[in-house]
Chain A
């Protein structure tokens, strides 16, 4: 039980993080693409495409954060101080972006300001999340189970690169989402933006894939030692195939498939990171077992989670089903 509980919890939190990154990813992407819209009507249409979903999407972030505290308090206690400033700035960016989303539709004179807040909040939140991710990949300095680094250890070129990578990835998710959910000028421009964003994402993925094994021997050993490489070589191949198909589908005017491909790219990238880091929750020193809460605590919380998580997932599916179809210009949810 003590062996499997942390694995189950890692899976639960992993699901919450994947759900968050994909779901909030595309609506943060709408904010990232906001500055490229030409008119208020286009912006309204973009907003309309995510209006029923966005705050539900964001709740996965809380589930991930609270889940980490509950199941892996020792990891929570190391990671949060290590990425103190990015996390706080991300939270404030999300707060500001959240209220901007709603206030811009009622504002009279200050609408332009709320547009700026929405776009900047979205981009900053994505950037901070990428920085947190990059910091986790290369590892956090831990002494005696506590964070032992300085307040700016996260400010590395690699983490900033990951930040830009996440921003471009969210932009890709947002652009392909707009291709699915809108039509007219907005959809056409989104399709044009999706292609360079796809290339940017592939570029960042390539750099991360080359950089991490070179900089971190642990990751090089994980991927290139025998027999691992025999099982792992399909991951980069699949990534290349998906990227190729995504490019093709964007060119051939497909609507849903580019979005699916963008999600698949995120999924493969995520899988790659899990392969690189497992079983470390705080690389390079703390595993999921070393950071796990007491089994009694994990079991107590798991009971409620296993009942409620499917209900929440079911509700997510229902909402997306009810709001299927395109949002046309001038037909926002308002």
Chain B
């Protein structure tokens, strides 16, 4: 059987990067949450903030380690599976990724140790500094990675010579047209993802009647953040969409399953896009809805999929469905945030068991929304890997399908083991809850590195459980 090596390489990259993005989208927000708790402890001198911070720091340690492990693989995959990508746009993309690696290592080498093991050994102000430094460091990592990805979507500040991109203006490269929107959208998504998890854990404790004081603090903080950020994310997403319409209109057409650009776009609530027939089946839609959203004019026009030949179109189904999943979850989070705020205002937040039950079971919403969003933007960029510079099919390595299939199978097996162990440990830590004792510092008393902390937290979860 002949399997397309391009498809296999894409599947492998999709698998490894989806596995990876789960952890950063959690740790970016979690480090900021820990920094906030550390600041509150310093200001209010209340024990519970210290306890909650210590609890989430253990979970942060395991998640960060999984993010590091899965990130190492990505830095080699650009060569093993996408060598012609590295060749064609390495001059531009390389330094952006290089700075991300440097930032991550610098961070790991300095403040992470203090944050993970120093709670008992350093004064509270230094702990706060370390927490803020780690939170900032994760943002700097996100900054460079998103700059690189945004450049692939909306390239700027370069020239092509002999099929190879050469940098002309680094500021224009880094701050390319879609970068500010993507950065704000992704960081907000990361904060929302973390808040959803914190809310779920707090709600779980309240339902079980354990760790009630700490759980109330978690629920209040999370509901407050979601109530503000979820509606804001709708506005940010709208702006991001308008930016995409300006620079990648065909991606918008795929997201909306909008075929004919000569008519106003309908807001398709559900459909099954048929790429062969160039139409939607089983469509339920609001007439003129998409035009209103995208052009802010009921009769506004925007390009349809048929405006370009089929070979230049992205696949329609993945961006179309993933976009609906992302927006649907976004609307759920708005409802959850505002609903929680109303309950809080009425003073019945902690008594509304139905709300707590829903919140406790919705911990995964943010993760799925982040993955769906990335599916929208990455499949919507097809058939290009770098927009109008390099086609995905021309970016692969000269490696046969068999090798890629074999390595993909190995990735699935090894990641399956690592992932289930990680989830298992995190769940044990949550079951044990914030018990007042921070992670015991290692005997030798030094900032160990993130993976070492897995053992520490793991031992604790077994010891207490």
A308 touches B91 (CB 8 A): no
User: Which chain A residues (114-139) contact chain B, with CB distance < 8 Å?
Assistant: none
B80 touches A66 (CB 8 A): no
Nearest chain A CB to B145's CB is how many angstroms away?
12
Among A91, A102, A108, the residue within 8 A (CB) of B455 is A102
- What is the CA–CA distance of A106 and B462 in the complex, to the nearest angstrom? 7
Given contacts A55-B451, A102-B455, contact A294 B167 (CB under 8 A): yes
Q: Which residues of A contact B68 (CB under 8 A)?
A: 55
Among B95, B101, B443, B449, the residue within 8 A (CB) of A297 is B95
B410 touches A92 (CB 8 A): yes
- What is the CA–CA distance of A308 and B104 in the complex, to the nearest angstrom? 11
**Segment touching A, from B121-129, B286-294, B340-348, B397-405:** B397-405
Nearest chain A CB to B441's CB is how many angstroms away?
11
B79, B170, B411, most chain A CB atoms within 10 A: B79
Q: Which residues of B contact A85 (CB under 8 A)?
A: 403, 406-407
A319 touches B90 (CB 8 A): no
Interface flags for A301-314 (1: CB within 8 Å of B; 0: not) read: 10011001001100
B87 touches A333 (CB 8 A): no
A102, A322, A323, most chain B CB atoms within 10 A: A102
Q: Which residues of A contact B398 (CB under 8 A)?
A: 81, 146-148
Q: Which residues of A contact B99 (CB under 8 A)?
A: 301, 304
A226 within 8 A of B: no
User: Which chain B residues (429-449) contact chain A, with CB distance < 8 Å?
Assistant: 442-444, 446, 448-449
- What is the CA–CA distance of A106 and B392 in the complex, to the nearest angstrom? 44
A158 within 8 A of B: no
B83 within 8 A of A: yes
Given contacts A66-B98, A70-B97, contact A87 B452 (CB under 8 A): no
A267 within 8 A of B: no
A323 touches B94 (CB 8 A): no
Nearest chain B CB to A323's CB is how many angstroms away?
6
A19 within 8 A of B: no
Residue of B nearest to A90 (CB): B76
A103 within 8 A of B: yes
A322 touches B403 (CB 8 A): no
Among A78, A88, A102, A148, the residue within 8 A (CB) of B451 is A102
Residue of A nearest to B456 (CB): A334
Nearest chain A CB to B168's CB is how many angstroms away?
8
A156 within 8 A of B: no
- What is the CA–CA distance of A55 and B451 in the complex, to the nearest angstrom? 7
Q: Which residues of B contact A105 (CB under 8 A)?
A: 455, 458-459
Among B90, B95, B411, B417, the residue within 8 A (CB) of A77 is B90
- What is the CA–CA distance of A146 and B164 in the complex, to the nearest angstrom? 14
Beyond A62-B72, A69-B75, list 14 extra A-B contacts (CB 8 Å). A52-B449, A55-B450, A65-B75, A69-B98, A70-B97, A77-B83, A81-B83, A88-B76, A91-B76, A102-B452, A103-B458, A105-B455, A147-B397, A312-B106
What would be 30 A-B contacts, judged by CB atoms less than 8 Å apart? Answer: A52-B444, A52-B452, A55-B68, A59-B105, A62-B72, A66-B75, A66-B101, A73-B90, A76-B78, A76-B90, A77-B397, A80-B83, A81-B80, A92-B410, A96-B414, A96-B418, A98-B69, A98-B451, A99-B417, A106-B461, A106-B462, A148-B398, A150-B400, A151-B400, A151-B403, A296-B168, A308-B106, A311-B106, A315-B109, A334-B455
7 closest A-B pairs (Cβ-Cβ)?
Answer: A73-B90, A80-B79, A106-B458, A77-B83, A70-B94, A81-B397, A70-B98
Binding site for B on A (CB under 8 A): 51-52, 55-56, 58-59, 61-63, 65-71, 73-74, 76-81, 84-85, 87-89, 91-92, 94-96, 98-99, 101-103, 105-106, 108, 145-148, 150-151, 293-294, 296-297, 300-301, 304-305, 308, 311-312, 315, 319, 322-323, 331-334
Binding site for A on B (CB under 8 A): 68-69, 72-73, 75-76, 78-80, 83-84, 86-87, 90-92, 94-95, 97-99, 101-102, 105-106, 108-110, 166-168, 170, 397-400, 402-403, 406-407, 410-411, 414, 417-418, 421, 442-444, 446, 448-452, 454-456, 458-459, 461-462
